[in-house]
Structure 1
Amino acid sequence: MPLTFRKSFRILPGVRLNINKRSWSITTGSGNGPRYTRSSTGRRTTSMDLPGPFGWRRTSRTRRDGEH
Structure 2
Amino acid sequence: MPLTFRKSFQILPGVRLNINKRSWSITTGSRNGPRYTRSSTGRRTTSMDLPGPFGWRRTRGTRRTGGH
TM-score (norm 1): 0.90
Q: 1:7 to 1:64 in 2, by over 3 A?
A: closer
RMSD: 3.7
Is the CA contact 2:47–2:55 (under 8 Å) kept in the aligned structure 1? yes
Report how many residues are paired.
68
Rounded Cα–Cα distance in structure 2 between residues aligned with 1:22 and 1:62? 14
Please tell me whether the aligned partners of residues 42 and 64 of structure 1 are also in contact (alpha carbons under 8 angstroms). Answer: no
Question: Residues 6 and 64 of structure 1: is their aligned pair in 2 closer, same or farther, counting only changes over 3 Å?
Answer: closer
Structure 2 gaps, min length 5? none
Uncovered stretches (5+) of structure 1, i.e. residues with no partner? none
Deviation beyond 3 Å, 4+ runs, structure 1:
62-68
TM-score normalised by L of structure 2: 0.90
Q: Percent identity?
A: 91
